[in-house]
Amino acid sequence: MKTIKYLSILLLIISCKDDFEGPSLNDVFGPFELRQDFTNSADTINFEQENSMFFQAEFSKVMNWKITIEGNISGSRKEIIGYSKDLNIQNSTWNGNTTILPFFVSENCDVTLSFVESDTTFSTQLYVSDPKQYNDEESVLITDFEGGFNPNFTNFFQSTCTKSIESDNPSEGNRYLKQIGWCDWDWLIGYIDFYTQHWLEPNTLSPDPSLTFLNLMIYSDSAVNSLNEPNTLFKIEIYEDENLDNYYDSSSEDMYGLEIPVNWNGWKMISLRYSDMPSLNLGNSVQEPDKVFKVRTLVLSDPTMWSSTPESDPQARADIDYLIWTKNQPILEK
């Protein structure tokens, strides 16, 4: 009788095995090996003509994987991560965008496939003949500084602070704006007014604040003050001209913006959804990006934090590059 009972249980287990949920024993305990070589869908890619490319491989078990694409000239890096038994067009497509600035340029790229569960890595290479163009029909470019600093953008910088067009460390293109200095008598290091009529593309923005994003690159050397706090604050202010008289009236029109502690090393893309920006001055209290009059950027630093010889302290610094509005999503998600 016991034999029949045990046999019945065994048959029940076998009959139910197709309904088993959870990872297979092979995925948990099986050895890892590459069953299909790690390859590119294209060895050369022109992102101006083609939307994307992808990678291929097949593993003996489900793995946590990461593809890292690094530009040999730019140093740009794109990371794609996933959890699967293979790489295919659905899970490893690359459209030329970046994870870590600067942007990719026309260059050779090293591509590495690595895993969480294994020290094994695989590599390949590809050539980007033409990099991705972020400025499309749904974006509005304020400036990229490639033609220098537009004199129609009014600005002020303290006597101990400077702004200058440089080309030694651009995040996009060949030029950027360096903003650096110290000031022990005022919070303000300097500011720039980017008037709408003088944007490189003075197009009208989308009226929907939830679909409108302001993007800009900011460079920092992560200097800290005597309290071990970020030495630099970066402030963005957006002014609306609600009655469209080409003038901002602080008594009746809206202004939005926020301050950002500059506490990182290198270039970083800042993307701000218009609808997320707090009001700094009340007008009609309706966010209307299609009525933006100007964008002001300010570099700030606490004057009480400077020593008796402030010129010897780490200077406040917030370089900028590639100010652009995008629709529907932040620029690095395009």
Per-residue confidence (pLDDT) for residue 10, from 0 to 100: 46
Q: How many CA atoms lie within 13 A of 159 on its CB side?
A: 2
Tell whether 1 is covered by a domain: no
Whether residues 65 and 122 fall in one domain: yes
Contacts of 240 (CB under 8 A, 6+ apart): 248, 253, 254, 255, 256, 283, 288, 291, 292, 293
Whether residues 115 and 223 fall in one domain: no
Positions of the chain with pLDDT lower than 70, given as ranges: 1-30
> How many domains does the chain fold into?
2
Contacts of 295 (CB under 8 A, 6+ apart): 142, 193, 194, 214, 236, 237, 238, 239, 323
Per-residue confidence (pLDDT) for residue 307, from 0 to 100: 86
CATH number (domain holding residue 84): 2.60.40.2550
Tell whether 164 is covered by a domain: yes
Per-residue confidence (pLDDT) for residue 225, from 0 to 100: 77
Its pTM stands at 0.86
